[in-house]
Amino acid sequence: MNVVFVEPFFPANQRQITGYSGTEELQQQYAEWVIDASLPPPGTPTQAVEAGYMANGYVRMRHPDYDVLRGMLDAVGRTLHVYAS
């Protein structure tokens, strides 16, 4: 059985997405466990938190071990940064 969780992203500013950091590192480490991801391209207007917790981007992952999955999602939260200006 796979456990699935989503890691949403909220940019620091509410304007336009200008880029990301950490995507390559996470791709190398966790690609086999990623179900899907939404990382809007630079220039996309950001959405307010009221638009939903997945409005500005997310990564969905799965893993048969819950504790391992939580560790991976913690790593995503620490590593992947959304920039907006």
Query: Are 4 and 76 spatial neighbours (Cβ–Cβ below 8 Å)?
Result: no
Query: Are 75 and 45 spatial neighbours (Cβ–Cβ below 8 Å)?
Result: no
pLDDT at 6: 57
Reported as a single tens digit per residue, the pLDDT across 20-40 is: 999 999 999 999 999 999 999
Averaged pLDDT of the chain: 84
**Nearest alpha-carbon partner for 61 in 71, 53, 48:** 71
Residue of higher predicted confidence among 16 and 12:
16
Query: Are 26 and 65 spatial neighbours (Cβ–Cβ below 8 Å)?
Result: no
Q: What is the mean pLDDT of residues 58-66?
A: 92
| Domain parsing of the chain, residue ranges | 3-84
Q: For 3-84, CATH number?
A: 3.90.1170
